[in-house]
């Protein structure tokens, strides 16, 4: 476990020593004594939060507050509308590629519609049992193993998305949001209408939105790494710097300069060092962060 420091925020961060048995599933563990209001930055994955500490995370959303173990669809926090806070927090955060999310969760990401949903509403009493078990084990690696075994069982029993839909998603992610949306249908041999309908219903986001979200995620991490906005705009496929500015504002409600200092993005370099959270091991990872936070190693 390592300690991440960013301004007044101090988080203990743990990472699994072994990859998940399920491609497209990654995890990180967090222990935070005092988390002030933290802007949630949209990410192109389904987020699953399993809390087991003395405190309970609170997400303030446009629709009100959500507390405890949660799940949210791709793009959580769009427009800067979601803040996380809490005290004495301990949790395992899971990122699920939308390609596997339906199998793991038991519902399509479309049913989440970008909102925050109590995990108990999806899994019932099973959530309490899982959280109790996470609190009873003595190490983060044991917690990761427990979580991975649970999610692997659910994934094996759950429905798969169409191979064409999975391929289109991987194509978008592998290109870092530079894939031509109009060409995806032709490449899989489907009509545009059929691909758009299946993609949206199975992954929870239409192809054009997926392209924008993946491209934004790549650009935002480049900004956190200290690269200039003009260079990022040109390299990430934006028409110009104002185009990048508009996208950043639309996704976060903040300027590129503000987003460059967001702790939610900076902590990714510790929690997900390879950033391979979207499709599994065969898709190129995003750019690693160049500017590292202060880190102190602690026993696992």
Distance CA 131, CA 226 (A): 38
For residue 37, what pLDDT is reported? 86
Cβ contact 35:87 at 8 Å: yes
Which CATH homologous superfamily contains domain 163-259? Answer: Homeodomain-like (1.10.10.60)
Q: How large is the average pLDDT for residues 44-60?
A: 91
Under 8 Å between Cβ of 119 and 127: yes
Q: Is 238 exposed, middle or buried (0-12, 13-18, 19+ CB in 10 A)?
A: buried
Residue 282 has a pLDDT of 35
Q: How far apart are CA 123 and CA 273, in angstroms?
A: 30
Looking at residue 112, its pLDDT comes to 81
- Which tokens in the block code for residue 106? 């038991």
Domain range list for the chain: 2-160+277-297, 163-259
Is the pLDDT at 53 greater than 90? The verdict is: no
The residue count of the chain comes to 300
Q: What is the pLDDT of residues 111-144, one digit of tens each?
A: 886 678 999 999 999 999 999 999 999 899 999 9
Confidence band of 17 (pLDDT split at 50, 70, 90): very high
**144-172 average pLDDT score:** 95
Structure tokens at 215: 């491209």
Contacts of 160 (CB under 8 A, 6+ apart): 103, 166
End-to-end CA distance of the chain: 5
**Confidence grade of residue 11 (pLDDT, cut at 50, 70, 90):** confident
Cα 57 to chain centroid distance, Å, stands at 16
Q: Determine the pLDDT at residue 286.
A: 32
Confidence of residue 66 (pLDDT cuts 50, 70, 90): confident
Q: CA 265 to CA 226: how far, in whole Å?
A: 12
Least confident of 3-7, 56-60, 65-69: 3-7
CB 104 within 8 A of CB 73: no
Average pLDDT, the chain: 87
- Percent of the chain at pLDDT > 90 equals 65
- What is the structure's pLDDT at 156? 95
Q: What's the average model confidence in pLDDT over 170-179?
A: 95
Contact between 103 and 154 under an 8 Å Cβ cutoff? The reply is yes
Measure the CA–CA gap between 264 and 28, rounded to whole angstroms.
13
pLDDT band at 293 (very low <50, low <70, confident <90, very high): very low
Higher pLDDT residue, 63 or 158?
Answer: 158
- Please give the residue that has the higher pLDDT: either 181 or 20: 20
**DSSP strand E in 178-242: where?**
none
* Percent of the chain scoring above 70 in pLDDT: 91
Give the pair of three-digit tokens for residue 54: 């003395």
Mean pLDDT, to the nearest integer, of 85-102?
Answer: 94
- Nearest CA to 101 out of 61, 44, 58 is that of 44
pLDDT average, residue stretch 14-40: 93
- Could you write out the DSSP letters of every residue in 112-152? HTT-EEEHHHHHTTHHHHHHHHHHHSSSHHHHHHHHHHHHH
Do the first three CATH levels of 2-160+277-297 and 163-259 match, i.e. the same topology? no
**Residue 224 per-residue DSSP state:** H
265-281 average pLDDT score: 68
For 178-233, the pLDDT digits (tens) are 998 889 999 999 999 999 999 999 999 999 999 999 999 999 999 999 999 999 99
Which pLDDT score, from 0 to 100, does residue 196 have? Answer: 93
User: 24: left (phi > 0), else alpha (psi -120 to 50), else beta?
Assistant: left
Contact between residue 236 and residue 244 where contact means Cβ atoms under 8 Å apart: yes
Hey, what CATH topology would domain 2-160+277-297 get?
Answer: Jelly Rolls (2.60.120)
pLDDT bucket at 108, cuts 50 / 70 / 90: confident
The predicted model gives 137-165 an average pLDDT of 95
- Nearest one of 117, 204, 192, 116 to 161, comparing CA atoms: 204
Model confidence at 275, pLDDT cuts 50, 70, 90, reads low
């Amino acid at each position: 476990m390592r300690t991440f420091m960013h301004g007044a925020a101090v988080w203990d961060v743990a990472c699994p020593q072994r990859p998940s048995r399920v491609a497209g599933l990654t995890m990180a563990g967090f222990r935070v004594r005092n988390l002030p209001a933290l802007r949630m930055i949209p990410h192109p994955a389904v987020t699953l939060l399993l809390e087991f500490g003395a405190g309970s995370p609170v997400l303030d959303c446009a629709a009100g507050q959500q507390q405890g173990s949660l799940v949210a669809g791709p793009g959580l926090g769009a427009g800067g509308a979601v803040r996380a806070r809490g005290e004495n927090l301990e949790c395992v955060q899971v990122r699920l590629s939308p390609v596997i999310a339906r199998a793991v969760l038991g519902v399509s990401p479309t049913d989440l519609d970008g909102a925050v949903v109590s995990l108990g509403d999806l899994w019932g009493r099973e959530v309490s049992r899982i959280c109790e078990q996470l609190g009873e084990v003595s190490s983060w690696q044991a917690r990761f193993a427990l979580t991975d075994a649970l999610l692997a069982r659910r994934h094996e029993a759950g429905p798969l998305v169409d191979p064409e839909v999975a391929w289109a998603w991987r194509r978008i992610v592998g290109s870092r949001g530079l894939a031509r949306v109009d060409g995806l249908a032709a490449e899989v041999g489907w009509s545009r209408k059929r691909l758009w309908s299946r993609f949206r219903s199975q992954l929870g986001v239409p192809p054009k939105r997926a392209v924008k979200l993946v491209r934004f995620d790549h650009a935002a991490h480049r900004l956190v790494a200290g690269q200039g906005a003009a260079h990022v705009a040109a390299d990430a496929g934006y028409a110009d710097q104002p185009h990048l500015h508009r996208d950043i504002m639309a996704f976060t409600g903040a300027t590129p300069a503000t987003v460059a200092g967001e702790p939610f993005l900076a902590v990714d370099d510790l929690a997900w060092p390879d950033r391979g959270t979207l499709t599994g091991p065969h898709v190129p990872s995003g750019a690693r962060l160049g500017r590292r936070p202060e880190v102190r190693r602690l026993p696992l």
